[in-house]
Structure 1
Amino acid sequence: MHVAVLGAGYAGLGVARRLERSLPPDVDLTVVDDGPDHVLTHEIHRAVRRPAVAEAVRVPLADVLDRAEIVTDPVDSFDPETGHVELASGDTLQYDYGAVAFGSDTAYYGIDGLREHAHPLKTLEDAAAIREDALDTIADGGDVVVGGAGLSGVQVAGEIAALAREEGATVPEDVSVTLVEQLETVAPNFPANFRRAVREALVDRGIEIRTDTTVTAVGDGEVVTDGRDLSADTLVWTGGIAGQPAADGDRPVVQADLRLTDRTLAVGDAARVVGADGEAVPASASAAIREAKTAATNLERLVDGGTDGFSPRLARYRFDVPGWLVSVGDGAVAQLGPTVLTGAAAKAAKTTVGAGYLTSVGAAQKAVELTENEILS
């Protein structure tokens, strides 16, 4: 029998590591990813200001997986009904049971000129490109626009503002950094007290906030909105997510058992998950890490059921995270239960979470490196 995990992000790596421990020895396990490393995508924004962070948040899959066969090859297409996978190299793979966990792509919503003129923030290479462009804009005293005020947008706006200060510029007097959001607030999917603290942290750093503003088109150096247009020498777009090309741009809806078909589960940002309470689960690293446990349990039960010839009862994922964390330049905002923390306490919480995650996946040295880089921020 063959089990495959397509993608090695938070969800995929979590599923694979659990299956390495729980699957019977005679079951083959394959992990397919488009690169050789697991990357902490929630820390990618740090590399805009601290390029050395790139090494701390990049973990070779070979260092944290023992039993699984690792295939470094992008998925070109897959059939969740049959378990047939076509890889970009032309190779194919066939699984009996599998998990689709290859994350999401950037959503551009058909906005004219957006894809051509904006930097996405999905990879370390994206962060390097943003840094290079932002440094030129800072040197010229220009304008930076970040589209989308979810956690990614808040974090990259904070990093660019901090980078400007480190380069000797003042925000907003010398360099403007503007955060644009279509909805009414920054961090719109989070509790009100968390949203207020995030907004205050942004304002304290000289970042202009424009909510209730829809981007309608983008040109060379210009962002057209339904209100006042913006000058943009550097444009970063974090305004939403879409499915990967291998899934035809779709993020299919799965219920709390994460089952897409009889043989395939979908987990993390690759799917729109409805939790056991009937509510949509927000796309986040925290959710993906926790979904991985449910997905691994269910794959193990499916394998056992496939062997014994009966349909197993599957576990159900219930969304429950202890809180939320976001960095804003050299600061942070944390919500732990009903309490919102800022300043040193929030920054310490964020550092602890990142280092704790790396340690949990067997990358203790990377945890040390990340902590050292956080202390420098």
Structure 2
Amino acid sequence: MQEHHVVVVGGGFGGLQTVHGLKGVPTRITLIDRRNHHLFQPLLYQVATTALSTSEIAWPIRHLFRDRPEVSTLLAEVSGIDRTNRTVHLTHGETVSFDTLVLATGARHAYFGNDAWEKHAPGLKTLEDATTIRRRLLLAFERAELEKTEEVKQAYLTFVVIGAGPTGVEMAGMIADLAKKVLPPEFRNIDTRKTRIILVEAGKRVLPAFTEELSEYSKRALEKLGVEVMLGTPVSDCTEEGVKVGDHFIPARTIIWGAGVQASPAAQWLGVKADRAGRTEVGPHLHIPEDPNIFVIGDTASVQQADGKAVPGIAPAAKQQGDHVAKVIKARLTGKAEPAPFKYVHKGNLATIGKRAAVIDFGKIKLKGVIAWWIWGLAHIYFLIGTRSRLAVAWSWLWIYLSGQHSARLITQRDTLKDEAQPVGKTL
């Protein structure tokens, strides 16, 4: 009898947890991802804001499964799925057959029908996004140093972050710390402390997933760092010259998008129903209603809880879903009873504001300030992969905390989206 073949598409939290959960199960596993690394997305903003380097939050997928001979890894991108013939189609023309398929293909940022904004306002989902944003941040200060016109100089020193969820809040706080505490001694023609950091949110408060008390504390903490918080008015346009918030135009040469996400095209590949964000609708065991051997998890899936609320698109949820799918597959292959339907257990919400404050909501336990920041840091270090990464990140944070210096501030590549259109004007 041919060995059962499980194909997992996506090497994020959900996909990796599925593969980990299938250890010891009599099956052959193929893991497909269009990048060769697993990324710890919750710390991606710290790469974008020069606090951490890329190697501290990402690991080669092949290395992670080097001791699992039943696991094969393919560096490839999926272009479609043939449910009838049980094959996954790759962009280079190859196909991979499957008995069980797990789609954990994540999500990208969504611009609510204004895709042209992406050129001017990159989002933050990949290492490439993070290094692009980091490059633009640093180049903005360099160009301001060269600029003679005061109006243009101020536009370079204005940074707009769109969306006040955890990513937007954390990004705005770190940019403020960089501009107002790290960089001032290093420039001669500009005072980086005069940098404007503007956080724009269409809703009524920052961090809407937190309690109103913690949300209000976060707003005050941001304002204490020098961040201008604009609430209640959506962005109506993004250009290379700046951002239009309602009817008000803000000249700004660096814009960062954190206002929405769009699921991968998994539902289109499968020809099944999806919600407004493109997430595939799945049943109690996280497989599509049309096929019990095709599972969809993580940001790609629309999973409803018993109370009717959707399971949030966060790392702990994806890991729990991956673990559940692995248990279902294991039960089927070993002839045991399937587990109870998936039930999401919310562990809490965490967000950091700058380098000395955070908010934590564990339900009955709610914390804010420095103590919350230390707990936030310890929690993130715990979930990193490998002793080396934990030590590296812990050391980087300790160095920043004690010295106030960010070490990952190299500009290593031209930004073709802006550099060619807006040349510096002279050669150094």
Counting only pairs closer than 5 Å after superposition, residues 289-328 of structure 1 correspond to structure 2 as 289-304=319-334, 313-328=338-353
**SS of alignment partner, residue 216 of structure 1:** strand
Post-superposition shift, 1:351?
Answer: 1.9
Aligned to 1:136: 139
Counting only pairs closer than 5 Å after superposition, residues 53-72 of structure 1 correspond to structure 2 as 53-65=53-65, 66-67=67-68, 68-72=71-75
* In structure 2, distance between residues paired with 1:81 and 1:313: 25
The answer to whether structure 1 residue 168 and structure 2 residue 184 are counterparts is yes
Task: Write the deviation string for residues 185-230 of structure 1: whole angstroms up to 9, x where unpaired.
Answer: 1112332233223222211211111111111222221212324222
* Alpha carbons of structure 1 residues 191 and 342: separation in structure 2 relative to 1, 3 Å: closer
Post-superposition shift, 1:160?
Answer: 1.4
Task: Write the deviation string for residues 278-331 of structure 1: whole angstroms up to 9, x where unpaired.
Answer: 3211111121122221121122234346xx9xxx64532222223211122213
Given that 2:49 and 2:171 are in contact with CA atoms closer than 8 Å, whether structure 1 keeps it comes out as no
Post-superposition shift, 1:20?
Answer: 2.0
Gaps of 5+ in 2: 145-153, 269-276, 401-428
* In structure 1, distance between residues paired with 2:316 and 2:398: 23
Query: TM-score when scaled to structure 1?
Result: 0.90
Identity of matched residues, %: 28
* Alpha carbons of structure 1 residues 323 and 33: separation in structure 2 relative to 1, 3 Å: same
Number of residue equivalences: 366
* In structure 1, distance between residues paired with 2:355 and 2:222: 11
**SS of alignment partner, residue 263 of structure 1:** strand
Post-superposition shift, 1:3?
Answer: 0.5
Task: Write the deviation string for residues 8-33 of structure 1: whole angstroms up to 9, x where unpaired.
Answer: 11111111111123x12xx2111111
* Correspondence for 2:397 among 351, 365, 374: 374
The answer to whether structure 1 residue 266 and structure 2 residue 291 are counterparts is no
* Correspondence for 1:192 among 212, 219, 227: 212
* Correspondence for 2:315 among 285, 290, 295: 285
Given that 2:183 and 2:192 are in contact with CA atoms closer than 8 Å, whether structure 1 keeps it comes out as no
* In structure 2, distance between residues paired with 1:171 and 1:205: 16
* In structure 2, distance between residues paired with 1:158 and 1:247: 36
* In structure 2, distance between residues paired with 1:63 and 1:241: 29
Post-superposition shift, 1:172?
Answer: 9.2
Counting only pairs closer than 5 Å after superposition, residues 1-377 of structure 1 correspond to structure 2 as 1-21=4-24, 23-24=25-26, 27-50=27-50, 52-65=52-65, 66-67=67-68, 68-79=71-82, 83-111=86-114, 113-139=116-142, 140=144, 141=154, 142-165=157-180, 166-168=182-184, 174-245=194-265, 247-248=267-268, 250-260=278-288, 261-304=291-334, 313-331=338-356, 332-359=358-385, 363-377=386-400
Residue identity matched to 2:292: D
Post-superposition shift, 1:234?
Answer: 0.3
Residue identity matched to 1:271: A
Instruction: Please identify, of 94-103 and 326-335, the stretch whose mean Cα deviation from structure 2 is larger.
Output: 326-335
Given that 1:172 and 1:207 are in contact with CA atoms closer than 8 Å, whether structure 2 keeps it comes out as no
* In structure 2, distance between residues paired with 1:239 and 1:292: 26
Post-superposition shift, 1:118?
Answer: 1.1
* Alpha carbons of structure 1 residues 230 and 52: separation in structure 2 relative to 1, 3 Å: same
* In structure 2, distance between residues paired with 1:171 and 1:298: 59
* Alpha carbons of structure 1 residues 145 and 91: separation in structure 2 relative to 1, 3 Å: same
Residue identity matched to 2:28: D
Given that 2:9 and 2:15 are in contact with CA atoms closer than 8 Å, whether structure 1 keeps it comes out as yes
Given that 1:76 and 1:246 are in contact with CA atoms closer than 8 Å, whether structure 2 keeps it comes out as no
Task: Write the deviation string for residues 37-63 of structure 1: whole angstroms up to 9, x where unpaired.
Answer: 111011110112336431111112123
Post-superposition shift, 1:113?
Answer: 3.4
**SS of alignment partner, residue 186 of structure 1:** coil
- Aligned-CA RMSD value: 2.3
Given that 1:51 and 1:128 are in contact with CA atoms closer than 8 Å, whether structure 2 keeps it comes out as no
* Alpha carbons of structure 1 residues 171 and 188: separation in structure 2 relative to 1, 3 Å: farther
Query: TM-score when scaled to structure 2?
Result: 0.79
Given that 1:145 and 1:177 are in contact with CA atoms closer than 8 Å, whether structure 2 keeps it comes out as yes
Task: Write the deviation string for residues 337-364 of structure 1: whole angstroms up to 9, x where unpaired.
Answer: 33332333222212222221125xxx22
* In structure 2, distance between residues paired with 1:350 and 1:376: 17
* Alpha carbons of structure 1 residues 315 and 372: separation in structure 2 relative to 1, 3 Å: farther
Gaps of 5+ in 1: none
Given that 2:184 and 2:193 are in contact with CA atoms closer than 8 Å, whether structure 1 keeps it comes out as no
* Alpha carbons of structure 1 residues 153 and 52: separation in structure 2 relative to 1, 3 Å: closer
**SS of alignment partner, residue 93 of structure 1:** strand
Given that 1:222 and 1:229 are in contact with CA atoms closer than 8 Å, whether structure 2 keeps it comes out as yes
* In structure 2, distance between residues paired with 1:193 and 1:84: 50
Given that 2:162 and 2:199 are in contact with CA atoms closer than 8 Å, whether structure 1 keeps it comes out as yes
Given that 1:5 and 1:32 are in contact with CA atoms closer than 8 Å, whether structure 2 keeps it comes out as yes
Residue identity matched to 1:149: A
